[in-house]
Amino acid sequence: LRCVRIARLPAPVSPPREGDATRREQEVSDDESVQPPNMDPVHDALERLEWQDAREEETPHSRLRALTRRTALTGGAAGIATAILTACGGGGDKTTSSSKAQTTSSGGTPATGIFKPAKKYKFVFVNHVTTNPFFVPTRYGAEDACKLLGCSYQWTGSENSNVNEMVNAFNTAITGGADGIAIALVDAKAFNGPTDAALKAKIPVVSYNADSTENARLAYIGQDLFVSGAEMGKHIAELVPSGDVALFIATPGQANIQPRIDGAKDTLKSKSAIKTHVITTGAALPAELSVIDSYATGHPETKGYFAVDAGSTQGLAQTIQKHNLRNKGVKGGGYDLTPTTQKLLADDQIDFTIDQQPYLQGFLPVLQLYMNKVSEGLSGIADVNTGLLFLDKTTVAPYNDTKSRYEGTSSSAGVAKAG
Amino acid sequence: MSDTRTGDDAPATAPPAPSSSEPRAPRPGARELALRFLTLREGSIVVVTLLAIVYFAVQNDRFFTHANFITLLPYFAPFAILAAGEVLLMVAGEIDLSIGSVSIFAPFMFYEFNQSGLPLMACLVLALACCVVVGIINGVLTEVVGVSSFITTLGMLLALGGLTLIISHAQPVAMPGAEVTSHTVNVTHVVNGVKVVLPEKVNETGTFAKIFGAGTYSELIWALVIIAGVQILLNRTRWGVYTIAVGGNKHGAAEAGINVRLTVIRNFIVCSVFAGLVGIMEATRATSVTPDTAGASETMFRAVSAAVIGGTLLLGGEGTAIGALLGALFLGVLRDGLTLEGVNADYLDFILGLAILFAMVINVYVGRVRKRSGVG
C-alpha cells in the first residue's frame, strides 16, 4: 500500500527532506550499490540536506537536528544499509519506485534546481474552520509539499465560518504579497471580488475543499460534491429499498456540504418507495449528537440514517450503536473519517463512509500554485477530484490500524502501526 | 468621576518607582507636552497602538503601504462602530451582549423586506427599526423589569440568533443591492512609448452598496462620523452628562432628578441600531450573509474588548468613543499585522492573546505614570 502511495506522489521532483535515518538510508541506497555499502551516498545525502537547511534560518532546533542527523547517518549508516540490502536480496528489480526515482535523479536535484524558482514562494491557505481537526491532514499535505518544493505556506482564515473574516484574511494575503492563494469557497459570491483582485495582481488562486463556479479561481481541488452526493444516493437506494430515510446536515446552505445533500436527494427523488427527511444538526459535534439522538427516539420507524458532514456521520453512528438499531436492520452511512466513525464502521454500526482525501487538498494546491509560478502560468493548473472513496467495514481496517500524516493521526512521516 | 476608581488608584501609590522622582527635572518643555498628552484618557492606548504600528512597519515592509491601509480598514472600522455603541451603555453601567446577534439579524430582516418588494432604503430603515425594537426590549427588561443587563442581553443574544436561523432557514443569502456587475472598459496603457488600448474588466457595485459598506472607505467614514457623534453626545450634551451620572451613581442620579430609565433605554436603542448598521454594512461588503450564530459572540467580544482597551470601565462612569476607536484600531492592527507576518491560525490566538496582555500592561503602566505625575 505504501509503495502505491509513494508512486502516486510526484516523487522525481526532489529528494524528501525530513524523515528518520532508516528511511533516508533506504532511499539513498540505489540499485547499483549492492556491493558492500560505501559511505559516499551518505555524505552526499548529508551535504544535500545541509545545503537545503542552510536556506532556512538557523535555530537551536535546526542545529540540533543537523547534529543528530549527522550522528545517526554516519554512525548507523553502514549497519542499516547492509541489513536493508541483504533483506532486499540484492535485487535491483525489487526496489521501490521511490528509490528508483532517486536513482534516476542521480544525486538528487532539489526542486529549486529543477524549477529554478525566482524566490522562496509563500502561499496562503484561507480556511473557514482553521482549527477544525478535519483539516489537520490538509495542513500536513501543504507542509509536506512545501518541504518538497522549498516553499512555505500560511494557514489562516476564520475559526467559525465568518465570511467577512475570511475576506479580510484573503485581502491581507494579497497585500502581503502572497505568491498564491488557496481558498475554501464556502460562500458562492463573497470571494469573487477578492479573487479578481488577486488574479489582477498576478497572484494565482485555486479553491480547495469547497467550490463555487461563479468564482474566477483557476482550479478546484477537492471532492466533486454533487456527484459524491448522487453516488451516496445510489448506495442509500441499494441499502434501503423502501421506507423512511433521514438525511442529516450540519449547516444547510454551506457550500462544502449542501451540494452533497442536493445530489443525494436528486438520486432519491426517482425512488418513490423511499421517503427522505432532511434534518439540520448544527455545527458543534456534541449538539449534533443530541439532535440525532432525539430524532432517533422520536422516529422509530426510520430505516436509514445518512449524513453529509463529518460531525453528523459520527453522531448517527453513535446513535445507532446507543439504541442498538442494527438489530432492527437499520442502515447508516456518511462522510469523512473521524476516529469514532472509523471505529464504529469497523464494528459494523454503519455501512459506509466516504473518504475525500483531505491530505491531497493541502498537497495539491501547493503543487499547482508552485508549478503555476515557476512556469509563469504556462502549466500547473488542473481541476482535481480528490475522491469518492467508499469505505466499508473491511476497507476501513487500514485506517484504524495505522497512524500517518495522510489521515492526520500522526505528525511523523510514513505510515506507522497504531499502538 | 475618577474618584470612584479606587481599585485603579490603589496600586499606583504602592511601590515608589525610581522614575517617579524625576518627571520635572530635565527639559521641562518636552516633559510638559508629553505629560499633557498622557493626561488625555486615551493617551496610553495611543502610545500602545503606535508601538504596535511601528513594530509591524519595521517587521514587514508591506505593512506601511496604502494597499495595507485599505486592507486594515475592515479589521477595525466595524468594531469601532460596535464599540462606540457599547461605550454608551458601559458608561451608563450596563452592557449589551446581544450586538453580535443583532448584526446578523439585521441583514436578514433587510433581505426579507427586500424580498417583499421594498426599495433598498426602505429595507434599511425597516431593518434598523427592528433593531430599535430589540433595543427597547433590552432596555425595558433591564430598567423597568429589573433583570440585569448581562442576563437580558445574553438571552437576547441566543434568542435573536435562533430567530435568525428560523427566518433564514439556516441558508446563506445574497445581499440585495450588493450585486457586483462587471463590464469591460478600454484602458489606454503606454508600453514602450506606444499607446495600447486594452479591454479591462471592471467590477461595479451599486450606489447603495458603495455607501453602506462596499465602498473602500465607506465603513471608515461611517466609523469616524459615528465616533465623533458619540464623543460629542457624551461630552457636550445633557444626554451624555446624564449617561455618565447614571453610570457613576445610579441612585444619586435618580435623586438629582435624572430620568434613569429613559437614559438607559435610549442608550440600548442606539447600541442596537449601531449593531444593525454594522451587520448590514458587513453583509454588503461580503455581498452575502450567512446565518452563522457561532461567530456572534466573538463579534460581541471584540467590540466589548475594544471599548475596554480604549479605557472604558466595565463598572461604568467612565469611557470615551475615541478610546473605543483606538481600542478597535489596536486590535485591528494586531490581527492584520500578525496575518501579514504569516502567523498560522493555531498560533494566531495565542500570540494575539499575549500581545493584548503585554499591551495592556504597558497601558496600565503609562496610565500610572500619568497619575503619579499629578496630572491624572
Q: What is the pLDDT of residues A332-369, one digit of tens each?
A: 999 988 888 989 999 999 999 999 899 999 999 999 99
Q: What is the pLDDT of residues B184-205, one digit of tens each?
A: 777 777 777 778 777 776 777 8
Residue B255 in this model has a pLDDT that exceeds 80 = yes
Helix spans in A160-299 (H): 163-175, 192-200, 225-239, 258-268, 285-298
Q: What is the pLDDT of residues A162-192, one digit of tens each?
A: 889 999 999 999 999 999 999 999 888 899 9
Residue B340 has its nearest CB partner, among A162, A164, A172, at A172
Q: Tell me the C-alpha distance between B276 and B179, whole Å.
A: 20
Higher pLDDT, B331 or B9: B331
Q: Can you give the pLDDT at residue A99?
A: 41
The answer to whether A189 contacts chain B (CB < 8 Å) is yes
The answer to whether B282 contacts chain A (CB < 8 Å) is yes
Kindly list the residues from chain B whose CB atom is less than 8 angstroms away from the CB atom of residue A167. 74, 285-286
The answer to whether B51 contacts chain A (CB < 8 Å) is no
**Contact yes or no for B294 and A161 at CB 8 A:** yes
Q: Chain B: give the shortest CA distance to residue A32, in Å.
A: 44
CA atoms within 13 A on the CB side of B375: 20
Residue A77 in this model has a pLDDT that exceeds 60 = no
Interface with chain B: mutation pick from A122, A162, A203, A411, highest number of B CBs within 10 Å: A162
- Does the predicted model carry a pTM greater than 0.80? no
Q: Tell me the C-alpha distance between B236 and B256, whole Å.
A: 19
Q: Chain B: give the shortest CA distance to residue A342, in Å.
A: 26
Interface with chain A: mutation pick from B189, B201, B287, highest number of A CBs within 10 Å: B287
Q: How many interface pairs between A and B have CB atoms less than 8 angstroms apart?
A: 118
Q: Can you give the pLDDT at residue B238?
A: 94
**Contact yes or no for A176 and B298 at CB 8 A:** no
Interface predicted TM-score of the whole assembly (ipTM), two decimals? 0.73
> What mean pLDDT do residues A308-325 have?
91
Bridge-based pairing of strands B288-289 and A352-355 is unpaired
> What mean pLDDT do residues A231-240 have?
94
Residue B30 in this model has a pLDDT that exceeds 90 = no
> What mean pLDDT do residues A135-145 have?
93
Kindly list the residues from chain B whose CB atom is less than 8 angstroms away from the CB atom of residue A280. 170
Question: Which candidate, B12, B168, B49, places its Cα nearest to that of B105?
Answer: B168
Identify the bridge partners of residue B194 per DSSP, sorted by sequence position.
Answer: B191
Higher pLDDT, A103 or B24: B24
Kindly list the residues from chain B whose CB atom is less than 8 angstroms away from the CB atom of residue A177. 62
Mean pLDDT over each residue of chain B, to the nearest integer: 85
Q: Can you give the pLDDT at residue A83?
A: 45
- The sign of the CA dihedral B210, B213, B215, B217 is positive
**Contact yes or no for A164 and B68 at CB 8 A:** no
**Contact yes or no for B344 and A155 at CB 8 A:** yes
Q: Can you give the pLDDT at residue B246?
A: 93
Q: Chain A: give the shortest CA distance to residue B109, in Å.
A: 18
Q: Is B201 helix (H, G, I), strand (E, B) or coil?
A: strand
Q: What is the pLDDT of residues A92-122, one digit of tens each?
A: 333 334 444 443 444 567 888 888 888 899 9
> What mean pLDDT do residues B274-278 have?
97
Residue B290 has its nearest CB partner, among A159, A163, A175, at A163
Kindly list the residues from chain B whose CB atom is less than 8 angstroms away from the CB atom of residue A125. none
Q: Can you give the pLDDT at residue A18?
A: 44
pLDDT band (50, 70, 90) for residue B376: very low
The answer to whether A287 contacts chain B (CB < 8 Å) is no
Which segment, A34-43, A62-71, B10-19, B322-331, is predicted with the most confidence on average? Answer: B322-331
> What mean pLDDT do residues B307-333 have?
89
B363 burial via Cβ count (<10 Å: 0-12, 13-18, 19+): buried
Q: Can you give the pLDDT at residue A46?
A: 58
Q: Chain A: give the shortest CA distance to residue B253, in Å.
A: 42
CA atoms within 13 A on the CB side of B250: 13
Higher pLDDT, B196 or A327: A327
**Contact yes or no for B295 and A165 at CB 8 A:** yes
**Contact yes or no for B340 and A175 at CB 8 A:** yes
Higher pLDDT, A13 or A222: A222
pLDDT band (50, 70, 90) for residue B168: confident
Chain B, nearest residue to A171 by Cα: B71
Residue A248 in this model has a pLDDT that exceeds 50 = yes
